[in-house]
Amino acid sequence: MLSTFIVNSPILASIFFTIITIATYQFAAACQQKWQYIWLNPMLFTISILVPFLLLVDINYQEYSHTTEVLNLLLEPAIVALGLPLYQQFKQIRFYWREMTAILILGITVVITVSFLLAMWLIKAPEIAVALSLKSVTTPIGITLTEQLSGDSSITAFAILIAGLFGALLGPQWLSFIGVNSAKAQGLAVGSASHVIGTAVLVRKSAEHGAYSSVALILSAILTALISPWLIPLIQQLFN
Amino acid sequence: MKNALYTIFAISICLLLGKLANFLLAALPASLYGMIIYALFLQFNWFSPEKITKTNQWFIKHMGVCLVPAGMGIINHFQLIQQHGLALVFIIFSSTFILLTVIGYLSERYLITPDNINSQTAEGSK
């Protein structure tokens, strides 16, 4: 029934699905605000409600993504808006940007290589391997990069979410366990591994944790965008 | 309202310049160029940080909803999850911990600063 609705009145269908998506998301965000659970992630919550809904009304993914195109278009300006936190952190970046860049480049190279090789070994699908190797950056940028490298961006979106939750829930404890205790190091590590989700948790520890975490989140996104377009094809060649 | 329009204008200009940079230089996606240009313009005060902050924060707070359609693609991957769900979680889990360890350890060791920096950063973060 709904799929004929999409064919007959595409504009109304667009409005309908976009509003449903936004409303579900807002509801989830309100719940998280109220209870403050990290795992009550609005995106995860929205997807786990909308997937059964689409299956129930028999709408496939292509139809859905077509009707909610407008949300996808907003992704680019949303990334530009991240320039504000970047500007706010310039002071810290300026102070030791060389060391931070070197450390992050090393970390990113290791994580891309390890994820790609593990994925090729265990799952043997290049588009999944690309998606998994880009899972440590913030979601909008991860999706953009995955599409650029012809990976599967829905897998990226999910992997980013899970990596974010792991790092946010267990990251600080793990770091203390291996003797990494300074706010700077914990912030950089969790920010680069678990992006926004990790940063949201670290801010509660101290402002310094949060500041370094957001530096790492943005810097590692930029560096990943610079490194991945040549590193990933290079590793891919090993399998040809 | 005026500030909201100002922010939308500022972001659009930067995105446009980002598209131009992407066209001329390739390398980074247009939106990332836009983000860097936006940050620089704020730094030089070509766009007023005071005017854009409120709308911009609102934008960042709600940007997650733009990611839902991309995440919904998981609907096409039930088979993959059934078959390789454990492998997926294992890869994400182990590589996340490797990254945490590498960056945490190196930063702890090599980012040594005088203590006065800490007080500055604490106030600059909020």
Residues B57 and B84 in one domain: no
Provide mean pLDDT across the span A80-99: 83
Residues B80 and B35 in one domain: no
| Closest by Cβ to B31, choosing from A76, A185, A192 | A76
Window from A6-10, A59-63, A224-228 with minimum mean pLDDT: A6-10
Residues A47 and A115 in one domain: no
Contact A149, A229 (CB under 8 A): yes
User: How would you class A122 by CB atoms within 10 Å of its CB: exposed for 0-12, middle for 13-18, buried for 19 or more?
Assistant: middle
Q: Does residue B69 lie within any of the structural domains?
A: no
Which residues neighbour A10 within 8 Å (Cβ) at sequence distance 6 or greater? A67
3-state secondary structure of A167: helix
Give the span between the Cα atoms of B14 and A111, in whole angstroms.
31
Q: Is the predicted pLDDT of residue A117 greater than 50, yes or no?
A: yes
Give per-10-residue mean pLDDT for chain B (126 aa). Answer: 91 95 87 91 92 88 82 86 91 94 92 55 44
The residue behind tokens 């702890």 is: B108
Residues A121 and A13 in one domain: no
Which residue in A3, A109, A125 sits closest to A58, CA to CA? A3
Give me the pLDDT at residue B113, please.
Answer: 61
Domain count across chain B:
2
Residues A68 and A124 in one domain: no
What residue of A is the nearest CA neighbor of B102? A107
- C-alpha distances (whole Å) from A58 to each of A50, A54, B52, B68 are 12, 6, 42, 19
Residues A91 and A205 in one domain: yes
Give me the pLDDT at residue A85, please.
Answer: 84
How far B32 CA sits from the closest chain A CA (Å)?
Answer: 7
Domain that holds residue A27: 2-73
Give me the pLDDT at residue A231, please.
Answer: 94
Residues A93 and A62 in one domain: no
Residues B54 and B6 in one domain: yes
Residues A64 and A173 in one domain: no
Which residues neighbour A1 within 8 Å (Cβ) at sequence distance 6 or greater? A57
Q: Do A80 and B11 touch (CB under 8 A)?
A: yes
Provide mean pLDDT across the span A19-39: 88
Q: Do A178 and B124 touch (CB under 8 A)?
A: no
Residues A51 and A122 in one domain: no
Q: Is the predicted pLDDT of residue A176 greater than 70, yes or no?
A: yes
Domain that holds residue B95: 74-113
Q: Does residue B121 lie within any of the structural domains?
A: no
B16 touches chain A (CB under 8 A): no
Window from A19-23, A39-43, A100-104, A222-226 with minimum mean pLDDT: A39-43
More confident residue, A9 or B108: B108
Q: Does residue B124 lie within any of the structural domains?
A: no
Give me the pLDDT at residue B116, please.
Answer: 43
More confident residue, A1 or B21: B21
Q: Is the predicted pLDDT of residue A58 greater than 90, yes or no?
A: no
Residues A64 and A149 in one domain: no
Q: Does residue A50 lie within any of the structural domains?
A: yes
Provide mean pLDDT across the span A84-99: 82
Give the pLDDT band (50/70/90) at residue A177. Answer: very high
Q: Do A132 and B95 touch (CB under 8 A)?
A: yes
Contact A165, A143 (CB under 8 A): no
Give the pLDDT band (50/70/90) at residue A95. Answer: confident
**Most confident option among A24-33, A36-45, A109-118, A143-152:** A109-118
Q: Does residue A90 lie within any of the structural domains?
A: yes
Residues B5 and B40 in one domain: yes
Q: Do B56 and A84 touch (CB under 8 A)?
A: yes
Give me the pLDDT at residue B14, please.
Answer: 96
Q: Output the average pLDDT for chain A.
A: 88
Residues B90 and B37 in one domain: no
Share of residues in chain A with pLDDT > 90 (%): 38
Give the span between the Cα atoms of A202 and A211, in whole angstroms.
9
Provide mean pLDDT across the span A151-167: 90
Residues A122 and A14 in one domain: no
Q: Choose the mutation target among A80, A184, A197 for the interface with B, i.e. most B CBs under 10 Å.
A: A80
Q: Which residues of B69-96 are buried (b: 16+ CB within 10 A; e: fewer)?
A: bbbbbbbebeebeeebeebbeebbeebb
Q: Does residue B102 lie within any of the structural domains?
A: yes
